[in-house]
Chain A
Amino acid sequence: MKNFYYTTEITKKIKEVLDTELPLTVKNINIGGFRLLPAPEVIKEYLPAVFIEPIEIDTESANEVLDIEAEQYPFQILYTAPYSYETQEEMLPKIKEAELIANVLRATPVLSSFRIDPSETEAGGMVVYRRVRGIRFDNISTELFAQIKVPACVVQIDFDIFFRTFAG
């Protein structure tokens, strides 16, 4: 039976891009959500950090006879930065930094040329296109940090990878 799903490979590729191409100093780049955050007392030293969170695989058959799957892999890229909630001037620089991350994601050739070769066990496939679907400043993560008085904010980048497997 062949494997058709590539969340692991695509997620690792996104991390590789952020590890190597970011024009921004971040202290940590992780795969996963906020469970990886350190204790609130030391969170300042841990930030800024980027969390790459795969959400799901939205898949449908592109060609039943040729056994081709068209797959959408939505990600949340959570740029988490120190934030004091004391001055309004803090917000725009954080948004700018997140935009730098989004710029890299939308432009890097590493993702657009990413492909997995087919084999006896792998359907393989290639990235058809990727898109930054949105950059969200007013999100529940920042809202929750504010409510529990943790000096951090999150700018959320919704990023989709469209992947198509090769004909069987």
Chain B
Amino acid sequence: VADSFRIIIENEQAVKYLTGKEESTKRRVTQIMNLVTRDIRDDAREIIRSTEHIWQGRLINSILNRVSTSGDHIVGEVFSGVDYAIYIHEGTRRHYVPFVDRNGMDRLDLIWWARSHGLITMKGKQFISTITGQPIRGITVGIEATKFLEQPYQKHLNNFVTQIQRAGAE
């Protein structure tokens, strides 16, 4: 499991435009990069917010953006630091996501106990409380891919390239 999951924006055109440019242009590009990564981050958080994967907000809070510069090189990143981010991003086949607390501890033993006594049943991909008929929060089986980083990246890519070109032409 990866320590973090990230999308890196390292635009070749941006590098080309920046070579030999004034400091003010570089600052402008950094600013654009900051804005774009912030927009991607916000959209990524919104995608997670609209799914069933939100429970304690760990994933949402872990999605951050960062821009680093070194010489003519400017790299923007949007990333998540939680280890299960890749599963939420890419989706899984029928996959057991443990009932996990904020320290990452699961309570599979309690799920096991509840299932063995008929308090929890499976309905399709969901665990259901036998008594209330409601899905059990905190357990998901079979995750649909959310592409929570890729989608916003694709959405903002054209705008980003246009802005970089403008900055380079200034």
Count residues of B near A (Cβ-Cβ below 8 Å).
23
Cβ A140 vs Cβ B119 within 8 A: no
A144-B105 contact in complex given A39-B117, A40-B117, A149-B129, C-beta closer than 8 Å: no
Residues from chain B with Cβ under 8 Å of A150 in the complex: 114, 119
Main secondary structure, interface of B, reads loop
Q: Give B105-123 interface residues, CB cut-off 8 Å to A.
A: 105, 107, 109-114, 117, 119-120
Report the bound CA distance from A18 to B120 in whole Å.
32
Q: Smallest Cβ distance from A25 to chain B, in angstroms?
A: 24
Main secondary structure, interface of A, reads mixed
B145: interface (CB < 8 Å): no
A55-B136 contact in complex given A35-B113, A40-B119, A148-B114, C-beta closer than 8 Å: no
Q: Mark B131-168, 1 if CB is under 8 A from A, else 0.
A: 11010111000000000000000000000000000000
Count residues of A near B (Cβ-Cβ below 8 Å).
20
Report the bound CA distance from A140 to B108 in whole Å.
11
A143: interface (CB < 8 Å): yes
Cβ A148 vs Cβ B136 within 8 A: yes
Residues from chain A with Cβ under 8 Å of B130 in the complex: 148
A141-B136 contact in complex given A34-B113, A148-B120, C-beta closer than 8 Å: no
Report the bound CA distance from A33 to B137 in whole Å.
21
Chain B residue, CB-CB nearest to A32:
B109
Chain A residue, CB-CB nearest to B134:
A147
In the complex, which of the residues A34, A35, A140, A149 contacts B138, with contact meaning CB atoms closer than 8 Å? Answer: A140
Residues from chain A with Cβ under 8 Å of B137 in the complex: 143, 147
Q: Give A13-43 interface residues, CB cut-off 8 Å to B.
A: 33-35, 37, 39-40
Residue numbers of B with Cβ under 8 A of A are: 99-101, 103, 105, 107, 109-114, 117, 119-120, 129-132, 134, 136-138
